[in-house]
Amino acid sequence: MRTEHRWISGSATDMSGIDDASVDLVVTSPPYPMIEMWDAMFAEQDSSIDGTLIENQPEQAFERMHRLLDSVWQECFRVMRPGGILCINIGDATRTIAKEFRLYPNHSRILQSCLSLGLRNLPNIIWRKQTNAPNKFMGSGMLPAGAYVTLEHEYILIFRKEGKRLFNSAEERLRRTQSAFFWEERNIWFSDVWDFKGIRQAFSGARRDRSAAFPFELAYRLINMYSLRHDTVLDPFLGTGTTMLAALSSERNSIGIDIDASFQLLLHDQMTRNPDSLNQVTGNRIRNHLTFIEGRKAEDKPVRYWNDFFGFPVMTMQERELQLHFLRECTKECSRWIGKYERLPLADILAERDSNQLALSL
């Protein structure tokens, strides 16, 4: 049992190093147009963007930034298999230019672009990012009518290429059933509103002094919701590597692209460190499931099915073949990282204590 993880240095506008129809799932969060921290990165690829901002032409700047992203979505479409899923985490932007404050609707512009490629939009997710900011008001404060609401959510746009994915071979059908999630997880994950904190991550060695990385839980959920074990997951804006780490934890293959090559050293350290933190996530899923089952039994509610792999009760027939493996090690071999996995006895899993910050709460 092994997975492969590949880094590609360069712009995601050209994914010529990835074959057509070879990717099962894309999970990404691009630079957000009209957010000031990304201005320079957009301008590096289109020098006219600087001019539009200097000349107070925000509509032109917004459109030119999105045209760069359009080419990325077109490349994603090319490399995705029929039935493959594209998940894009994006937030709208607010900005004052020439003394005029306004909203720049990134999510609707990306939605328009992806639909024009022929992608089918599936129900989207609103990610409500908890905030502890003491001053949430913008504009004129307590005085009408110049006050503005504060943006406290982002979107996870979800698209599918062509129709439903087909599982024609016996091997594919078995891999699908083994990739099932728990019934109680499904009830949380497939809500259209997610409510957990974002992260602010400081780091050195890269061209930016902080990242805008989405949290591990966001990538982990999407990967387990929309792909199978040993599928290939792509992130064309890999950054600090959250998607690749979530794929490694979930026993998926992955490809990551980033224009900033200095992230690669940071990613190597994260991929090859002691796997305990990633395994904690897997272990917590199992322990949380057993806690849920104990609660059902205490309330005298039925639990009708049995998972032979772990030897414990489950709620539905679809969970009977569910399997979760633990990462034994991840090493660098030539230009790729290789993850190797093992099956752990349930007694060993239950002996672990929940103490890692990456833990997913149900």
Give the pLDDT of residue 288: 97
**With bands split at pLDDT 50, 70 and 90, how would you rate the model's confidence at 16?**
very high
Q: Please write the tens of the pLDDT for every residue from 93-129.
A: 999 999 999 999 999 999 999 999 999 999 999 999 8
- pLDDT: which is higher, 296 or 137: 296
Which fold would CATH assign to domain 2-270?
Rossmann fold (3.40.50)
Give the pLDDT of residue 351: 85
State the average pLDDT for the chain.
91
| 133 pLDDT more than 70 | no
Output the CA torsion 347→351→354→359 (10° steps). Answer: -30
| 356 pLDDT more than 60 | no
Give the pLDDT of residue 358: 38
**With bands split at pLDDT 50, 70 and 90, how would you rate the model's confidence at 334?**
confident
Dist CA 118 CA 207 (whole Å):
35
Distances (CA, A) of 247 to 225, 320, 353: 12, 23, 23
Query: Residue ranges per domain, the chain?
Result: 2-270, 276-351
Dist CA 168 CA 175 (whole Å):
12
| 354 pLDDT more than 50 | no
Give the pLDDT of residue 137: 62
144: which 2 tokens? Answer: 């009408």
Output the CA torsion 32→125→203→264 (10° steps). Answer: -90
Q: Which residues partner with 26 through β-bridges?
A: 86, 234
Our measurement of the distance from residue 169's CA atom to the centroid of its chain's CA atoms, rounded to an integer in Å, reads 28
Q: Cα-flanking dihedrals φ and ψ of residue 308, to 5°? A: -75, -30
Q: Please write the tens of the pLDDT for every residue from 316-325.
A: 999 999 999 9
List Cβ<8 Å contacts ≥24 apart for 259-264.
Answer: 259/9, 259/10, 259/11, 259/12, 259/41, 259/44, 260/206, 260/207, 260/208, 261/9, 262/205, 262/206, 262/207, 263/206, 263/238, 263/239, 264/7, 264/9
Pairing state of beta strands 193-195 and 23-28?
Answer: unpaired
| 135 pLDDT more than 70 | no
Give the pLDDT of residue 207: 47
Dist CA 95 CA 101 (whole Å):
6
343: which 2 tokens? Answer: 């099956």
Lowest mean pLDDT among 5-9, 35-39, 261-265, 290-294: 261-265
| 357 pLDDT more than 50 | no
| Residue found under tokens 């799932």 | 25
**Average pLDDT of the residues in 165-178:** 97
Residue 131 CB neighbours (<10 A):
12
Highest mean pLDDT among 89-98, 136-145, 259-268: 89-98
Q: Please write the tens of the pLDDT for every residue from 28-82.
A: 999 999 999 999 999 999 999 999 999 999 999 999 999 999 999 999 999 999 9
Give the pLDDT of residue 129: 86
| 199 pLDDT more than 70 | no
